[in-house]
Structure 1
Amino acid sequence: MVGASGVEFPLPLSTQPMEARTAEALPWDDGPWQYEPKWDGFRCLAFKDGKTVDLRAKSGKPLGRYFPELIAALSALTATEFVADGEIVIEGYASFDALQMRLHPAESRIRKLSRETPAQLVLFDMLAAPGGQSLIELPLHDRRDAAEDFVAKARSKALRLSPATTSLATADRWLKDAGSGSVDGVVAKRLNDPYRPGERAMVKVKRLRTADCVVGGFRYLTGTRQVGSLLLGLYNENGQLDHVGFTSTIANDERTALTERLEELRGGLGFTGKAPGGPSRWSTERSGKWEPVRPELVVEVRFDHVTSKRFRHGTRLLRWRPDKAPHQCTFEQIA
């Protein structure tokens, strides 16, 4: 497919990655299945023609300027005219925090971070083999062979192959170990299926855990005076309440009463340790303004991933815990 620059990639840059639907348990029937770790990074399709490389996010937006070390590494490979599917991760760090730092407007900052926290492309599928032959219609087991061969011949520190297994027991062990670092679950794919761009043809399962958290503040719904989200905290080893995330799963018929309850508790610092920050380029959906409350309320929430001692995603409110003292809500729960 010829791009605006005249480069001819094996597949269009608009090709969408195959996606996954969420399930509560790993599938085992209606297979055979291949299981892989679910990486907590930036999903990426890597396109190459000659020496020209283009990295595309799941949204279709270009990622190359933020990861010059990957562009250089893929450009240097002897393999040409290929399209690979993988996840950009940074090892040795709280992966997603380090990745977010890479999406910086200043090129000098990007270059510095590319040296200090070099990224890797964890490869798990091949859409076009070196030479440009499309593999999309081939079953996964053939595409997996192509991916293994590609990484083995590349011999690049910037590339590695994602583990895979057909053993449900092994996948269960991976799932039990997920939830911190760069892995946040397991993905299941049918071995005999072709690649289905843009379709939710895979299954993803995350390890779900619960924690009792202190409500240290709240945010109003945009344009209203009703609570939109609760700001959650846990006590650190110094007895300070650190902000660890939020939950916005509040039933509409409970908002009015909950707002009144929270407004009665307004005052003080709310969080005595790490407090919620303002809006950033990564979280445009949230207002930076929040209302501190006295740390008297405890809620039990369900979460799936922890990075840098914070919930990676929003949590689900399960129930209020009037039986739990706030000082009992410590980081030991999510260690």
Structure 2
Amino acid sequence: MKLPVDPPVEPMLAKSVPQIPTDAGMTYEPKWDGFRCIVFRDGDEVELASRGGKTLTRYFPDVVAQARRQLPTRCAVDGEIIIIRRDGPDGRPRLDFDRLSQRIHPAASRVRMLAETTPADFVAFDLLAIDDESLMDQPYPVRRARLTAALAKVAPPIHVTQVTSDVDTARRWFEIFEGAGLDGLIAKGADLPYAPGKRLMFKVKHTRTADVVVAGFRWHKSGPVVGSLLLGLYDDAGVLHHVGVCASFTAARRAELVEELAPYRENVTGHPWTHGDHSAGQRIPGGQSRWSGGKNLEWEALRPELVAEVGYDAMEDDRFRHTARFLRWRPDRDPRSCTYDQLDRPVRYDVDEVLRGDPAATPEGTVR
């Protein structure tokens, strides 16, 4: 390519903060839950670059085609590749990271099939270069103005993310957009240049806790220590579902867990997962997933009598979206009380309205 900014370029990153920053001149935008991607276009040549210099080009021919059709002839645009699910149980369109992850497949035939059956959208939120001009040293408001001008005529599945400089609007977005599958908020300072690989932006994500049943574990690949705890929740019918794992432990803590779990490995009979029925809708561990590949998915059953408090950020249908964080044991809790009812379920929201900049969610003061 002959752009003033050519791949690979490491995306600018964000630092996690517990609260929404309110510094003067701060700009806020939704945090999209997808694959970060810088689209480089020079005529018919298009490259989709992700973090770490990896390419996404071969996996998303549909995004490449839309970039050729709608983006400026010579440009570098930072954004997010997303997939919108429109056949959910409540009928509201929302982001679907599961289906997005399934797009990463080694077989070219399957890549083509998925591009047709689960096409992706691209949400633009920064402009690095256009024509012969690099904008990376320009402050963010300048880049934003150039982005909106350059992409003024794009149509779905290409979008320009909405932004606001009003903190009250940002707080409302943080609350309601989660129901459309979004991750939280991104905050950018007024004088922010584009600094590849630097954590100069801020991100605010939802954090919650839940009491869960620890009903199994997996051994760590390094040896006879605990690798992860398998977590469960009961539904209204009293069925225990596998909802996720805790896995981030120090080496010393992994060894300690072997001793702590030992009593619960004894006399395990009639375990609800070893005798469970996945075909009947029960979620049980051990099944292949988009992440499993060639991983060993064998697991050890524990009597479902241990309760732990864990931290989590969001739910994906009926399981934890990401690996949960172990906080503490809860010997005071009855395992049967660990139900889905305790979870904070966000109000469902239409992701199309987020992409359109729906007036009901965008009061006066919002910057487009």
Q: State the TM-score, normalized to the length of structure 1.
A: 0.90
Q: Which residue of the partner structure matches residue 75 of structure 2?
A: 82
1:230 Cα offset (Å): 1.0
**CA–CA separation in structure 2 for the residues paired with 1:128 and 1:34:** 21
Distance between the aligned counterparts of 1:151 and 1:239, measured in 2? 52
| Contact persistence 2:33–2:95 (CA under 8 A) | no
Q: Which residue is 1:56 aligned to?
A: 49
Deviations along 1:270-304, one digit per CA (max 9) or x if unpaired, are 53431223576635796422111111111111111
- Equivalent residue number for residue 104 of structure 1: 105
Distance 1:285 1:333 in 2: 35
Equivalence for 2:263: 264
Structure 1 position 166, deviation (Å): 0.9
The Cα of 1:38 is off from its aligned counterpart by: 1.0
Q: 1:182: how far off?
A: 3.2
AA in 1 matched with 2:261: L
**Match of residue 150 from structure 1:** 150
Amino acid of the residue matched to residue 260 of structure 2?
A: R
Shift of 1:123: 0.7
Superposition deviation, residue 255 in structure 1: 4.3
Given that 1:217 and 1:270 are in contact with CA atoms closer than 8 Å, whether structure 2 keeps it comes out as: no
Q: Does 1:9 align with 2:3?
A: yes
Indicate yes or no: 2:26 matched with 1:26. Answer: no
Q: Tell me if the contact between 1:26 and 1:205 (Cα under 8 Å) persists in the aligned partners.
A: yes
Amino acid at match of 1:128: A
Higher relative CO (Cα under 8 Å, sequence separation at least 6) belongs to 2
Change (3 A) 1:317 1:214: same
How far off its partner does 1:10 sit? 3.5
Shift of 1:248: 2.5
1-structure distance, mates of 2:71, 2:158 = 14
Partner of 2:114: 113
Paired with 1:212 and 1:44, the residues of 2 have a C-alpha distance of 36
Question: Which of residues 320, 326, 336 is equivalent to 1:317?
Answer: 326
CA deviation map 1:227-277 (0-9, x unaligned): 232111111233221111111344665544532332322234353431223
Percent sequence identity is 43
Which residue is equivalent to 1:282? 291
Corresponding letter in the other structure for 1:238: A
After superposition, the Cα gap between the structure-2 partners of 1:253 and 1:48, relative to the gap in structure 1 and judged at 3 Å, is: closer
Query: Per the alignment, do residues 79 and 279 of structure 1 end up closer, same or farther by CA in structure 2, a change over 3 Å counting?
Result: same
Query: Which segment drifts farther, 82-91 or 228-237?
Result: 228-237
8 Å CA contact 1:303–1:311 kept in 2: the answer is yes
Post-superposition offset of 1:116: 1.9
1:305 aligns with 2:299: no
Match of 2:226 in 1: 227
- Is 1:216 matched with 2:218? no
- Root-mean-square deviation (CA, aligned residues, Å) is 2.2
1:107 partner amino acid = A
In the other structure, the counterpart of 1:331 is 340
Call closer, same or farther: CA 1:78–1:151 in 2, change over 3 Å.
closer
Q: Give distance in 2, aligned partners of 1:263 and 1:279.
A: 27
In structure 2, the partner of 1:4 is none
- Contact 2:129/2:136 (8 A) holds in 1: yes
Change (3 A) 1:76 1:143: same
How far has the Cα of 1:63 moved from its partner?
A: 0.5
Deviation per CA, 1:109-158, whole angstroms, max 9, x where unpaired? 222222222111111000012x23211111111111122122222x3322
Contact 1:80 1:132 in 2 (8 A): no
The answer to whether the 8 Å contact 1:180/1:307 transfers is no
CA contact (8 A) 1:10 1:81 kept: no
Question: Counterpart of 1:177?
Answer: 176
Distance 2:27 2:293 in 1: 36
Q: How many residues align?
A: 326
- Aligned residue for 1:38? 31
Secondary structure in 2 matching 1:98? helix
More displaced 10-residue stretch of structure 1: 323-332 or 82-91? 323-332
Tell me, in whole angstroms, the C-alpha distance in 2 between the residues paired with 1:104 and 1:317. 32
Q: What letter corresponds to residue 238 of structure 2 in structure 1?
A: G
What is the Cα deviation at residue 177 of structure 1? Answer: 3.3
Whole-Å separation in 2 of the counterparts to 1:196 and 1:215: 43
Give the C-alpha shift of residue 173 in structure 1: 1.9
Distance 1:39 1:236, change over 3 A: same
Q: What amino acid maps onto 1:10 in structure 2?
A: P
TM-score calculated relative to the size of structure 2: 0.82
